[in-house]
Structure 1
Amino acid sequence: MEHRLSTRVHGKLGLLVYRRGMPVATGQVRDASKRGLFIATDYTDVQLNQTLELEFCFPDKREKQFRRLRAHVVRKSDNGIGVDFEGVENDGFTISSMIQWLKKHHRPMNYFPVRRHAH
């Protein structure tokens, strides 16, 4: 059973993954909290505790300002990587902005719509 210290917000936001200043992969934030992210990616050349940089911009904003966060890898899976913001320098405002954007743009998917029968 997982015990999270902060609430996760689900959503989708594309990003670039950088390693040592070079872009190495694309990914998509699937959930975020003030402490970290889960990034859906097929990038596998990454080690636990490795520090990565993540670059993104909010697609609906007029100014296409790219923002960067640093994080270290705490989980690897077939679907992506989990990263944590603890122990690396980041702008708290950028993390809060991402979480607010994800909350605002999250659209729950209804995979099995309820059929309405005419009476």
Structure 2
Amino acid sequence: MPVATGQIRDASKRGLFIATDYTDVQLNQTVELEFRFPDRKEKAFRRLKAQVVRKSDQGLGVDLEGLDNDGFTISALLSWLQKHNHIVSYFPPIRQNYFH
């Protein structure tokens, strides 16, 4: 299973835009997003499922609705991003190595 990195650039209760240079995904493909809150003592990762609804040179737009997701996790992510001002205009992501 491919693994890629990215940075959230825009977020709403419905979906996210993730800046990434990873392009090996298709529209309507279901992907799994894994993240953790860097400033919290808990080191556990959270997971959300998303459907790819947009692809561009800057990244991917994903829809969180209609999939089996925990509403609390989505709310916690949105609150954290807003509190830490991590919703910013696009800057190219740092190129990462991808592991298969």
Displacement of 1:24: 1.9
Equivalent in the alignment of 1:10: none
CA RMSD of aligned residues (A): 1.6
**How many angstroms does 1:86 deviate by?**
1.8
**SS of residue matched to 1:72:** strand
TM-score (norm 2): 0.83
**Any gaps of 5 or more consecutive residues in structure 2?**
89-100
- Letter of the 1:27 partner, please give it: G
Give the aligned residue type for 1:60. D
Runs of 4+ in 1 over 4 A off after TM superposition: none
2:6 to 27, 43, 53: 27
2:16 counterpart SS class:
strand
Which residue, out of 27, 30, 33, partners 1:48? 27
Structure number with greater CO (CA < 8 Å, separation at least 6) is: 2
Distance 1:90 1:68 in 2: 8
List gaps (5 residues or longer) in structure 1.
1-21, 110-119
- Partners of 2:21 and 2:58 within 8 A in 1: yes
Distance 1:46 1:104, change over 3 A: same
Deviation (angstroms), 1:108: 8.5
Q: Once the 2 structures are TM-superposed, how far is the Cα of residue 31 of structure 1 from its aligned partner?
A: 1.2
Name the TM-score, length of structure 1 as normaliser: 0.70
Matched with 2:55 is: 76
Cα distance change of structure 1 residues 100 and 87 upon mapping to structure 2, 3 Å threshold: same
Residue 82 of structure 2 corresponds to residue 103 of structure 1: yes
Q: How many residues align?
A: 88
* Bigger Rg, structure 1 or 2: 1
Partner of 1:39, secondary structure, is strand
Query: 1-side partners of 2:87 and 2:6: how far apart?
Result: 20
Q: Please give the alpha-carbon distance, in whole angstroms, between the structure 2 residues aligned to 1:70 and 1:44.
A: 18
